């Protein structure tokens, strides 16, 4: 790795950490209208803690939740959302990561269940491939909440 590549990677990591810890906008991917669902809990936490930025909801329903429209696809998100929170099954993570790359989402927190059924290395393979393909800064997870930088402005 050259000095410039190392500097770029450090810069991307710093931007990703900032976007994750202090996002200006959030998308909840896998949103459900069901009370007590992971997506609803994340939305309620954002509202109750007076998050000031845009909150985008993506799910199958297409209805409104808490006065916010539920988008049917990640591709309907505006470009450049700082943080996507995945609240969906493991089988849907690859497609969600791909969608976030297309929409230039900066970072994602993954609350996905079901990776044990696929094998413990599946999440890391999915995220490592994206990192290698698009110079993404990092990935964590597998049997826990994970974080990945999916794009950097």
- Tell me the CA distances in angstroms from 69 to 15, 43, 77, 135, 147, one per residue in order: 29, 13, 11, 32, 26
Looking at per-residue pLDDT, the higher value among 151 and 16 belongs to 16
pLDDT at 122 over 60: no
Domain ranges for the chain: 3-149
Classify domain 3-149 at the CATH class level: alpha beta
Task: Give CA–CA dist 83/27, Å, rounded.
Answer: 6
For residue range 41-71, list pLDDT tens digits in order: 999 999 999 999 999 999 986 688 988 999 9
Task: Give CA–CA dist 92/5, Å, rounded.
Answer: 31
Task: Give CA–CA dist 66/128, Å, rounded.
Answer: 36
Within 13 Å, how many C-alpha atoms sit on residue 27's CB side? 31
pLDDT at 141 over 80: no
pLDDT attached to residue 14: 67
Question: Which range, of 23-32, 42-51, 125-134, averages the lowest pLDDT?
Answer: 125-134
Q: Are 51 and 59 in contact (CB under 8 A)?
A: no
For residue range 74-89, list pLDDT tens digits in order: 999 999 999 999 998 8
**pLDDT band, residue 152 (cuts 50/70/90):** very low
């Amino acid at each position: 790795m050259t000095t410039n590549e190392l500097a770029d990677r450090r810069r991307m990591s710093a931007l990703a950490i900032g976007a994750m810890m202090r996002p200006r906008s959030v998308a909840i991917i896998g949103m459900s209208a069901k009370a007590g669902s992971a997506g609803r809990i994340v939305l309620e936490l954002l509202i109750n803690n007076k998050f000031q930025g845009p909150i985008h909801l993506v799910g199958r329903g297409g209805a409104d939740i808490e006065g916010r429209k539920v988008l049917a696809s990640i591709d309907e998100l505006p470009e450049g959302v700082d943080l996507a929170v995945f609240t969906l099954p493991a089988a849907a993570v690859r497609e969600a990561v791909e969608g976030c790359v297309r929409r230039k989402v900066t970072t994602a927190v993954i609350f996905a269940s079901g990776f044990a059924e696929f094998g413990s290395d599946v999440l890391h393979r999915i995220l490592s491939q994206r990192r290698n393909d698009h110079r993404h800064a990092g990935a964590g997870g597998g049997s826990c909440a994970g974080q990945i930088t999916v794009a950097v402005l």
